[in-house]
Each structure stands twice: as C-alpha cells, then as structure tokens.
Amino acid sequence: MATVPAKVHSRHSRFVELMGQQITAGELPEGLVLKSGDLEERFESSRSVVREGLRVLETLGMVSSRRNVGVSILGSSSWNVFDPLLIRWRLAGANREAQLQSLTQLRSAVEPLAAGLAARAISVADGRQLMKVAGELVATGNAGDLEAFLALDIEFHALILRASGNEMLSHLESAVAEVLTGRTHYGLMPEVPRQEARHLHYVVADAIQRGMAAEAETAMRRIVTQAGEEMTTALVGRPGAAAEPDPGSAAAGI
C-alpha cells in the first residue's frame, strides 16, 4: 500500500478545521450554497483536498453536496453535536457559553446516572483503578501539577462512563474529555483545583467501589453542578472569554 505524505494529511486537516470553525461560528451561515471552486479559493486548497475535506464535514452533518447544485451549509439541527471535533470548534467560537451550557446540562443528566450504574456493575480491578486515580487527583492537585490533574480528571470520568456497563454512556467519553479540556484551555475554572472538588472525586470513587449507588450519584451531581457554576462565574467575570486561548494556559479541569 502506498504511503500518503504527511503534508497531504496536513492540508486536508487544515481545510476541515478552518471550514468547520467557520460553519460553527456562523461565518458560513445555514442555507449558503458554494461551488467547489469558491471553496478552493476561500481556503487556498486544491480540488482533491476540498473534495476529501467535504466528505468529513458531510459525515458531521455540516454540509450537503449535490451535483450541479453545489455545497450547501446545514444548520446545527443536522450536526453530529457529540463528535469531539464539533465540540472543540464550538468551544473555540463566540458561542462558547451556549455550548458549555448544553454540555453541562448533558453531563448533569448523564454522569450521575453513570456513577450509579457503575456502583452496581464495576469490576474489582476497575474499582481499584478508580480509587487509585481519585487518590492521584488529590495528590496532584495538592502539588499544583495542573497538567497531570487534567489528564487524571479525564481518565476518572472515562472510567466511570465505561464502568456503567452502558455502551451508549461509554460513547460519550470523548465528548466529556473535550469539555474538561476546553475548560482548561479557555481558563474557565479556578487556577488551582478546589479542595472540595478533589474530595468529591474521592467520595464518588469510594461510593462506587462500595456499591453505594445513591451516594455516588449525589456526589457526581455536585461535581458537575460545581463545574457549571465555576464556568458561569468565569464567563461573567471575563468579557473577553470568547477570545483565542492563551497557549501557555495551565488551568486544570474538574
């Protein structure tokens, strides 16, 4: 099999990224119809790059291509809103607050349920790993190792979604990871993980390992609620919150 040069993947990814961001930001509004040549010129891309990129955007429900008509921009009701790429683009745009609100509402419905299910179904090995991660979250938070804290936070929530035993909940693992990462990159949480948040993660892990479903659900709901409140406070307090992220940002997720 022939090897595709890395620069081809780079051009393709750049086109998908730029057009996806412009659609989610409303710069390419719903109902707009463009010709392939228009896109080649707008994004300074070759015909083959545009063609392959549009296939990706079609799988995301963002565009529809028809011969002799062109490329139609579709509205958000058609988008695959759980896809990590779409979540990332929406968090990067001016409508970040609305996206965060939607995702927080989703987490409020899903993650307490997953915690309760995990308490009934988690294996001994997974329970031990969850407790290990929870303990490391406390330690890294205390030490101020924020990058390690974020990685552990993503692992913690992913473990619970998988341990729920529900394949549909497990499928939301990447979406939750994007929320946690987005909070970090856009400075929408405290610079140092709050002691209460770290403790709640340990409470959740302990309740799940002991099979205490109601206790696990309650603690997880507090985690998600607190995260939503902190994001709202950060957005209200920072008029420029929708600006591009600071590459050197070192906040951590919850």
- Is the pLDDT confidence value at 213 over 70? yes
Residues 67, 138 within the same domain: no
What is the helix (H) or strand (E) element at residue 71, kind and residue range? strand 70-73
Residues 65, 130 within the same domain: no
**Spatial separation of the C-alpha atoms in residues 134 and 207, rounded to whole Å:** 12
- What would you measure as the largest C-alpha separation in the chain, in angstroms? 62
- The pLDDT, as a whole number, for residue 111 is 98
**Spatial separation of the C-alpha atoms in residues 244 and 202, rounded to whole Å:** 33
Q: Which two tokens stand for residue 213?
A: 């479903």
Lowest mean per-residue pLDDT among 40-49, 107-116, 171-180, 241-250: 241-250
73 contacts 60 by C-beta, under 8 angstroms: no
249: left (phi over 0), alpha (psi -120 to 50) or beta: beta
Residues 64, 186 within the same domain: no
- The pLDDT, as a whole number, for residue 238 is 59
Residue of 169, 155, 153 whose CA lies nearest to 116: 169
Residues 119, 206 within the same domain: yes
**Spatial separation of the C-alpha atoms in residues 97 and 160, rounded to whole Å:** 26
Q: Kindly state whether residue 251 falls inside one of the protein's structural domains.
A: no
Residues 12, 63 within the same domain: yes
Residues 100, 46 within the same domain: no
The structural domain count of the chain equals 2
Residues 231, 121 within the same domain: yes
Q: Which domain holds residue 24?
A: 6-78
Q: What is the pLDDT of residues 143-163, one digit of tens each?
A: 777 788 899 999 999 999 999
Residues 31, 155 within the same domain: no
Q: What is the pLDDT of residues 85-98, one digit of tens each?
A: 999 999 888 888 88
**Of the residues 78, 104, 138, the one at which a domain ends:** 78
Residues 195, 103 within the same domain: yes
Residues 205, 104 within the same domain: yes
Q: Kindly state whether residue 1 falls inside one of the protein's structural domains.
A: no
**Spatial separation of the C-alpha atoms in residues 122 and 247, rounded to whole Å:** 38
**Of the residues 78, 112, 128, the one at which a domain ends:** 78
CATH (domain of 48): 1.10.10.10
Half-sphere CA count of 98, side-chain side, radius 13 A: 9
Residues 126, 214 within the same domain: yes
**Spatial separation of the C-alpha atoms in residues 222 and 228, rounded to whole Å:** 10
Residues 157, 69 within the same domain: no
Whole-number average pLDDT of the chain:
87
Secondary structure letter of residue 59 according to DSSP? H
Q: Which residues pair with 65 in a beta bridge?
A: 71
Report the share of the chain in percent with pLDDT over 70: 89
